[in-house]
Structure 1
Amino acid sequence: MTVWSAIFRHFHEPGRARDLAQMAASVVNLTRTALINAETSRRTDLLIDLAALEGIRIYPSEPTDEILPLPETRPMQLLTREIKNQLGEHTRLAARWKTLDGFWISFRLDPEDPDDFWVRLPAERLESSGTADWLGWVFAAFSVSLLGAFLIVSRISTPLRSLADAAKMVGRGRTPPPLPENGPQEFAIVSRAFNQMAGDLARNEAERAVILAGVSHDLRTPLARLRLGIEMSGSPDEDIVPMIADIEEMDRIIGQFLDFGRGEPHTPTEPIDLAALVTDVAEPYRLRGVDLNIDTPVRLTVSARALPLRRAIANLIDNAIRYAPDTPIDVRVHADRAEAHVEVLDRGPGIPPDQIDRLRQPFTRLEAARSDTKGAGLGLAIIDRVMRSHDGRLELLEREGGGLRAVLSLPLRKQRARMRAVANAQDKQ
């Protein structure tokens, strides 16, 4: 609006200066004509009448007159140029004559006459008439236009925002609520197509869950029979142990396929004690004789889904055991102001920094850096998905002195806000 007003003034001022100059020249010319044609004895009465009736005052010019020039502004410069064009270059203009402020113009009764007179024009004749009102109406129209544009944009942006939110839910593997299919025809068509797509994806997801459940049953049942048969075969332990280890690896791979195929969990988060959860996950490994060092606080509450988080921590410990056997493994839990962290540190070969992002993809392994070729390459992909579903992250960093430092980070802000809200509600009660 400010820029528009400046542009308006720039183009409006020349026309306004011409109009004011024409008015001032007309007043001066009429005054000159009246003085020339009036009888000498009546000139004093004429000057009194002009001052009383029209607000026009006329004084003779003297060499000792003290005058104040007009301000050096663009409107005044335009007005001065236009008045001199109409009255002559000998015309002078002033903002003050002696001690009287006003708009003063000099004139001569005759172009050849060296004597000048000063005429003082009323200030109201130079004021811009109608410009302020016109600008007010323009501003009002502009405000109404902005309001209308805001309403139109809101009507368009609301369904677009709903569509974007629903698309994000589909991208996370969730089923969004149906979008309203009313409103403008274009939005109704898009919403209808999106609802159909989301429904098809939900049905495909349900069918995949059924298939995965069947695969789990059909594969794990014969594996269990095979393991039982091997254990009861009476073969030497050096033959049985590797076969049982292979069967357990196959069962673990099937479990990873099932975990990856389930997608992101749909259950809501709930407050859990992260320190107790990590201790509970790590304890069976210690009972199996794994050299596992646990460092946790007494209590650390986060908002999470317990079962997927347990799987993520267990996968990290399994990776550390697989790729750094017979070396101590450290598990640490700590928190800063914004996040809670679970760290699993090993002394294995580590992961080159330029390969970390690639290893987050499913079915990807780094066999050159980690010599064990077992597994389906789904562990890190599952962990990364679990952390993203918690608005957290998985970091794979180099450990000082060699090895890998895997860090799971969970946000604490939402949990703390929820706890404060509960505490405030209790205080009010």
Structure 2
Amino acid sequence: MRRAIDTLFGRLVVIVIGMLVLSHVAWFAIIRFERDNVQTRFAVEEAVFLVEAVRQHIANTPDQPLPPRVHTVPLGSADVPKPPGEDIPPPLQRFVEDLKDRLPDGTEVRLNEPGGPPSVWVHGAKDAGWIVVPVQPLRPPRSRDRMLVWLALIFSTAVLAALFAAWQLQSPLRSLAQAVARFGRGQPTPPVPERGPRELRQLTHGFNQMVREVSQTENDRAVMLAGVAHDLKTPLARLRLRAEMMDDEKMRDGVVRDVDSMAHIVDQFLVFAHDRADGSEPVSVDEQCERITRAYRAVTPGAQPIRLDLEAGPAFVLPAATLDRLLSNLLDNAHAYGAPPVVIETRRDAKGWVLSVSDHGKGIAPDDLIKASRPFVRLDPARGGSGHSGLGLAIVERLARRAGGECEIGNRAGGGLQVAMVFPFDIASRTVEERREERAL
């Protein structure tokens, strides 16, 4: 099961959002702490200024009235508050300590009782009484809702910008990964746009160059193989004609069999060298399997019994030429090396449409399974024989990948070889009209 966290974009999203959450929480805590300190310092400076102003007023113009909320109280008045205890809140305690540090030594500072207007009582060594001045509340009503709204707005904007940047970084990598998957399946791979960071552009450029060189090598090999195979068809035809004119029947039959084997190898070369997309008409796989089975029984003397187990239905379609080549190679392979009965099966799986051909022979040794689909590899002694070039399973794998599927070669649990091909639903369920439009484009 695929998880979003397994993708590069998912991990970038988790990292970006996690870092943004940590940074915003840290900044929120720092802002709150610094705002408390700024409020305390401002309240201290304001109280010191007012106390000094009252002292100057008393010294210079004692007859003039003091401003509202600023007054003096005699030392023995009953209204004088008690000295602050140790149970006062930390902000008020810090305010009192900072205020004493700003005033002359020996100055006594008290706070008014809770419930009244916030004010501070100050008595210095030279003061005749208590000077009472108002102070700003150290914990005023804060617009926390507004602050949280702004924080959420900034966080959302940062997340969107970060996600866009992560998508811009991940998009070229996704295109490159898709191109690598197509190239690995043997499908035509167009050049990938070189975009993104410098390292990613260099990687994409190297991949495009590798695809071009591999494609050129494949084209050169296909042209050479097709040319050799094509040039051999004419002398083989002359050789067969001359063999037919031999008087010795036994020798004639032997030469004809050898010529037919060589012609079959040449045909395999041509099919393997063919590297163009199949433009034939898409047909229902189940119906075509039935037709190919009837034709194979009719033209192949001594063919092994073939059992059909077709459950895919009409939605499973493939190009007719590709399907004919797949089944003919697999049936020839089962007829040459396997044991009856040969089973052709189609079904719908979780990964896509499945087409499999299996026999009940000895199968392939586990150590040789990885080499079974390599071109020109013949597995001896179990899979020898005349008239075979070692291209049958290689052709099947190439045709399946060219059609957008995957080919898996393995041994059945009950004995025998099984070749299973899986085609994705979006590829093997296209209608005839969709495939025609694709070929036209």
Same fold per superposition (TM over 0.5): yes
Residue 273 of structure 1: CA displacement? 0.3
Match of residue 352 from structure 2: 339
Change (3 A) 1:371 1:333: same
Rounded Cα–Cα distance in structure 2 between residues aligned with 1:312 and 1:322: 16
Rounded Cα–Cα distance in structure 2 between residues aligned with 1:152 and 1:409: 34
Which residue of 274, 282, 296 corresponds with 1:262?
274
* 1:22-421 to 2 correspondences below 5 Å: 22-34=41-53, 46=66, 48-50=68-70, 60-62=80-82, 70=89, 81=94, 84-87=97-100, 98-99=114-115, 107-110=121-124, 121-123=135-137, 172=186, 174=188, 176=190, 198=212, 211-237=224-250, 239-263=251-275, 265-267=276-278, 271-287=282-298, 288-290=301-303, 291-297=305-311, 299-325=313-339, 327-336=340-349, 338-372=351-385, 375-414=388-427, 416=429
Rounded Cα–Cα distance in structure 2 between residues aligned with 1:268 and 1:44: 108
Deviations 1:182-234 (A, max 9, x none): xx9x989x98x969995x98887777666555433321222223233333323
Rounded Cα–Cα distance in structure 2 between residues aligned with 1:374 and 1:145: 66
Q: Is the 8 A contact 1:350 1:398 kept in 2?
A: yes
Q: Is the 8 A contact 1:25 1:87 kept in 2?
A: no
Q: Is the 8 A contact 2:111 2:121 kept in 1?
A: no
296-305 or 338-347, larger mean C-alpha shift: 296-305
Match of residue 15 from structure 2: none
Deviations 1:298-332 (A, max 9, x none): 9433343221222122111111111125x322222
Change (3 A) 1:222 1:252: same
Using CA pairs under 8 Å that are at least 6 residues apart, name the structure with larger relative contact order, 1 or 2. 2
Question: TM-score of the superposition, structure 2-length normalised?
Answer: 0.65
Q: Matched residue of 2:394: which SS?
A: helix
Rounded Cα–Cα distance in structure 2 between residues aligned with 1:336 and 1:250: 39
Rounded Cα–Cα distance in structure 1 between residues aligned with 2:323 and 2:220: 25
Rounded Cα–Cα distance in structure 2 between residues aligned with 1:116 and 1:170: 90
Q: Is the 8 A contact 1:348 1:403 kept in 2?
A: yes
Structure 1 spans left out of the alignment, 5+ residues: 52-58, 423-429
Change (3 A) 1:341 1:136: closer
Residue 370 of structure 1: CA displacement? 3.1
Rounded Cα–Cα distance in structure 2 between residues aligned with 1:93 and 1:354: 91
Rounded Cα–Cα distance in structure 2 between residues aligned with 1:409 and 1:166: 20
Pairwise CA RMSD: 5.5
Q: Is the 8 A contact 2:364 2:417 kept in 1?
A: yes
Q: Is the 8 A contact 2:175 2:192 kept in 1?
A: no
Rounded Cα–Cα distance in structure 2 between residues aligned with 1:15 and 1:39: 36
Rounded Cα–Cα distance in structure 2 between residues aligned with 1:197 and 1:366: 30
- Percent identical: 26
Count the aligned residue pairs.
387
Change (3 A) 1:111 1:296: farther
Change (3 A) 1:60 1:323: farther
Residue 253 of structure 1: CA displacement? 1.7
Q: Matched residue of 2:68: which SS?
A: helix
Match of residue 427 from structure 1: none
Q: Is the 8 A contact 1:384 1:394 kept in 2?
A: yes
Q: Matched residue of 2:296: which SS?
A: helix
